[in-house]
Structure 1
């Protein structure tokens, strides 16, 4: 038996604004853009991981009003789970994302547990960390 991750969801306030971060700043490619009523989902991915897609959508997309409201509250508080990306050139990636205007939470540093990493907030306030494996 073989099992692998196919989709990871990130809730955002505005899909178009989020595309400026995930597509333009991080360099992910848009794989699908699906409209459904007043909402839409966009999937993005990296050529390095063709079988994995990140789905960005608004809190009320595909959810009941009550569930969407609850998710919106968590998003507004900034307490949704973080997402962690890996790069082979942290310093260049950091500069590209910073140049996009993203909120910097942590400049690149060497962590005592191994990786070198940095942190940003996406336009909706989600915590996004980017790390690079330690040199061998």
Structure 2
């Protein structure tokens, strides 16, 4: 098996589409009334599933966290420390909820955190150089 992508189970599909499209710049073409969003972002499959639709499909009920939650982190990378600061300011100005302002960590990464409208945590970070998949193997 290989990792193909990931999905987020959402309560308010229209609000989440607007956030990921208008605030974070994901290329989402589906209508806001859709039940599933299926797209590739930088080579990774990204999905938004309507919670009720997924429950109906699997014939099961699930529990969901409310407010900011720590079940997972979606990490976004930019090439420079300055881009971390600019990206944070940009997404906050567009309505993202700040979680942690840009900080340079002892391990050499500049990072910050925001939350999407349903409380999922998103990191924007950089090690001060363009992303290289070979560095992460």
Specify the TM-score bucket, using the shorter chain as the normaliser: 0.7 to 0.9
**Aligned-pair RMSD on alpha carbons?**
2.8
4+ long deviations beyond 3 Å:
none
Deviations, residues 23-76 of structure 1 (Å, cap 9, x unaligned): 111111126x499xx961112443xx2x312101232322246433x2x3x355
Tell me, yes or no, if structure 1 residue 52 matches structure 2 residue 56: no
Question: Which TM-score applies when normalising by structure 1?
Answer: 0.75
Gaps of 5+ in 2: 131-137
Structure 1 contact 103–121 (Cα < 8 Å) conserved: yes
How big is the shift at 1:84? 1.3
Question: Which TM-score applies when normalising by structure 2?
Answer: 0.75
> Where does residue 88 of structure 2 map in the other structure?
94
Tell me, yes or no, if structure 1 residue 61 matches structure 2 residue 53: yes
Tell me, yes or no, if structure 1 residue 43 matches structure 2 residue 41: no
